[in-house]
Structure 1
């Protein structure tokens, strides 16, 4: 997937710069390098590296796999990666968030495409991104919904094809995760804080 860092984050120039610095170390031709560079660029720019949704061990493995040399690079643009990596803190979740994240992980694991070694990392990123109050593509640092569509088509193609109603992806993933868990549909934990909550979940008619 070739994702483009977004232009709508609170500090887009910084996020873009960080993503581009990572891409200078990307393994040539890897289809997920753009996605992970955008995600990490956004998280680093917001001083929230742990919010990427990966454990410190998963993050180290992903960097070694997709961006070899980035962590040790003398590139000043990547100083934030070293600094925040050294102070990595666990991503704390309350009970409801942790429960939802587990439902979504279980769903994505059930529908993952075979043979793609980066999919577990994508699953971790998506499970945490759905906890935050923003459009999924924007939270991930991508350029638009089409980037999320391409990501899902690569890693979970049969699940993506089930979105016959063309719901927004966070809404679709939330509904699907709860359905898979045998529960009625409900928003993702981050949805109520989104600016478009009323569009996805309009008030019931009296």
Structure 2
């Protein structure tokens, strides 16, 4: 990690976006942002975008960032680094891919980016390096509409994803309803600037 991770983050995202097929495309922004966040966290190329197959890094670059340097292409891992974290990622990725409409390579790359960014600690829109939560909501509604429609209470996206995973596993939230939960403000409060 560089001496100034924020500068490295901006530089990496800008470099990728300079080579993007469309600089302001929200898919390009989210994927470049996820890679930049992973680099800022000091992660190796095999963890920039989890879930990639062998040829995906090259395909992603050719499709979304044709003018970017090849050394910014994420690569698939040869082995799983942390089985528990990988299982969490796999669950998130499956949740997203089941809701992809239609399922194609670009949505798969985006699902990998969103699931990877969900493993970081900030708000999801921040770890994707999107300008705000509204852009994230639009992105999810456009590419994963079946999932996005279920967030009827405007819950924070990362919290919503994990709530969906708990429900799938037959687990109950800590409170009988979100309104009665002590963490209500954490899930439903403002994300802007946080």
TM-score strictly above 0.5: yes
Confirm whether residue 92 of structure 1 aligns to residue 81 of structure 2: yes
Deviation at 1:62, TM superposition (A): 0.8
Contact 1:116 / 1:155 at 8 angstroms: preserved in 2? no
Partner of 1:6 in structure 2? none
Q: Pick closer, same or farther for the CA change 1:131–1:51 going to 2, 3 Å.
A: same
Contact 1:53 / 1:126 at 8 angstroms: preserved in 2? no
Partner of 1:200 in structure 2? 186
Confirm whether residue 46 of structure 1 aligns to residue 41 of structure 2: yes
Q: Please list every run of 5 or more consecutive structure 1 residues that lacks an aligned counterpart in the other structure.
A: 1-9, 73-78, 187-196, 202-206
When normalised by structure 1's length, the TM-score is 0.68
Contact 2:33 / 2:127 at 8 angstroms: preserved in 1? no
Q: Pick closer, same or farther for the CA change 1:92–1:185 going to 2, 3 Å.
A: farther
Q: Please list every run of 5 or more consecutive structure 2 residues that lacks an aligned counterpart in the other structure.
A: 175-182, 188-194
Partner of 1:157 in structure 2? 145
Structure 1: 4+ residue segments shifted above 4 A: 88-91
Contact 2:35 / 2:48 at 8 angstroms: preserved in 1? no
Q: Which among 12, 16, 35 is matched to residue 10 of structure 2?
A: 16
Rounded to whole Å, the distance in 2 between the matches of 1:28 and 1:141 is: 16
Deviations 1:86-130 (A, max 9, x none): 9x77662232x3333222222222211115431111222222322
RCO higher in structure (CA 8 A, sep ≥6): 1
